[in-house]
Amino acid sequence: MKNKKRFMIDAHLDLAMNAIEWNRDLRQSVYSIRDRENGMNDKLDRGKGTVSLPQLREGNIGLVVATQIARYVEPQTPLPGWNSPEIAWGISQGQLAWYKAMEEQGEMVQITNGKELDKHIALWFDEEQDNSSKPVGYVLSLEGADSLINLSYLEKAYANGLRVCGPAHYGPGRYAPGTGEKGGLTAMGKDLLKEMDSLGMILDITHLTDQGFNEGTDMYQGPIWASHHNCRKHVQHQRQLNDDQIKVLIERGAVIGGAFDTWMLVNNWVRGVDDPKQRNVYMELIIDHFDHICQLAGNTDHIAIGSDLDGAFGKEQSPFNLDTISDLQSLENPLKQRGYTDEDIDKIFYKNWLEFLSKAWKE
Ligand SMILES: [Zn+2]
């Protein structure tokens, strides 16, 4: 069967977290995983997942940025996390081991440089081959740097294929305070950025505080992106980008991945209470965020997909007209109706990320 769907890149998925912490075998279809979780209630999103490898292939999403994620928490911190950086490192290494096992089975393939990227893209554009035989490519990213026990661990991580790091996540962080916090990068965070720069890594500014954003973009010499980030103009929360930040990112040649967490698509979403249908949260709301960035940029070069689907939430916190991640393909017509050309849609679906990576990894 030839695949007539457009190619897609999703720049933010917590695949290994779902495997290791949610105990999901992502080789199975989303529907099998939901069945398996029938009756479980240890997490809000049990039985409501939307992402797995077969659904990525079904959606012609052949390349993703996939995370390692493990937070360190001080005693009495309300956020979930691990009690020492060493434990967090261990969890992140379990996640890496899962990615490696998927590679050994031909389910996934790690992409770390321009040559591998070109080869992988050529494979996915080969229409003679069925998608079911193609490994899903992944660029390895660390979301929140807490698990790096010290900077020597960044070098170990780089040797294992890590190419992107976002120093912050939610809450206080060892390297940078994240969403919901105030203040700038810690001394360790500033050293981390210098080390990332010398390794030629990509800085993901997602989840930084406003001060952290300013410090990070001032300090960092190398490539910067915002893997999963919407606009504060439409959702009034520090988690989203304000216009000044968007302008800085445009100036730096960044790409901003539109996220599909309902909390990031509408104002005042109440987690665990609100219902996507009742709040009328549908996928196409992302186009308002895209439009706004395009107006500030004067072009369509800086928008793309960073869905964050199954990022510790499932269907209960995803647009009501999205059943699985493969439904992202249905954005094509609404984008056309909003005036985006064929070329613009390809840019949003994959070309902007592809170009960013090709440029970042030029020898
Ligand atoms: Zn995130």
d(CA 130, ligand 1 centre) in Å:
32
Query: 């992107």: which residue's tokens?
Result: 164
Ligand 1 mean position to 128 CA, how many Å?
36
Residue 15 CB partners (closer than 8 Å, separation 6+): 26, 51, 64, 66, 67, 99, 138
Per the CB < 8 A criterion, the answer to whether 175 and 99 are in contact is no
Distance CA 361, CA 108 (A): 20
Assign 82 a pLDDT band (cuts: 50, 70, 90). Answer: very high
DSSP letter for 351, please.
Answer: I
Write down the pLDDT at residue 226. Answer: 98
- Average predicted confidence (pLDDT) for the chain: 97
Distance 32 CA to ligand 1 centre (A): 26
Task: Write out pLDDT tens, residues 5-43.
Answer: 999 999 999 999 999 999 999 999 999 999 999 999 999
Between the CA of 263 and the centroid of ligand 1 the distance, in Å, is 12
Question: What pLDDT shows up at residue 4?
Answer: 82
Structure tokens given for 332: 């094509």
Helices 152-159 and 187-199: crossing angle in degrees, nearest 10, is 30
**4 alpha carbon – ligand 1 mean position (Å):** 31
> What is the structure's pLDDT at 65?
99
Average pLDDT over residues 142-161: 98
d(CA 175, CA 169): 10
Does position 2 have pLDDT exceeding 80, yes or no? no
The count of other CB atoms within 10 Å of the CB of residue 279 is: 15
Which pLDDT band holds residue 3 (cuts at 50, 70, 90)?
Answer: low
Q: State the DSSP code for 348.
A: I
Count CB-CB contacts under 10 A for residue 295: 11
8 A C-beta contact, residue 179 and residue 207: yes
Q: What is the mean pLDDT of residues 254-259?
A: 98
Tell me the residue ranges of DSSP E strands in the chain: 8-13, 61-68, 108-110, 136-143, 162-166, 202-204, 224-225, 256-258, 303-305
pLDDT of 52 over the 50 cut: yes
Q: Which conformational region is residue 331 in: left (phi greater than 0), alpha (psi within -120 to 50 degrees), or beta?
A: alpha
Say if residue 1's pLDDT is above 70: no
Average pLDDT for 211-238:
98
Cβ atoms of 77 and 87 closer than 8 Å: no
CB atoms closer than 10 angstroms to residue 263 = 20
Ligand 1 centroid distance, CA of 292 (Å): 21
* Per-residue burial over 222-253, b = 16 or more CB atoms within 10 Å of its CB, e = otherwise: ebbbbbbbbbbbbbeeebbbeeebbebbbebe
Question: How distant is the alpha carbon of residue 230 from its chain centre?
Answer: 12
Give the distance (Å) from ligand 1 centre to CA of residue 117.
24
Mean pLDDT of the region 82-111: 98
191 CA distance to ligand 1 middle (Å): 22
Nearest to 200 by CA among 166, 158, 259: 158
- pLDDT one-digit tens code per residue, 190-199: 999 999 999 9
Taking the centre of ligand 1 as the mean of its atom positions, its distance from the CA of residue 123, in whole angstroms, is 29
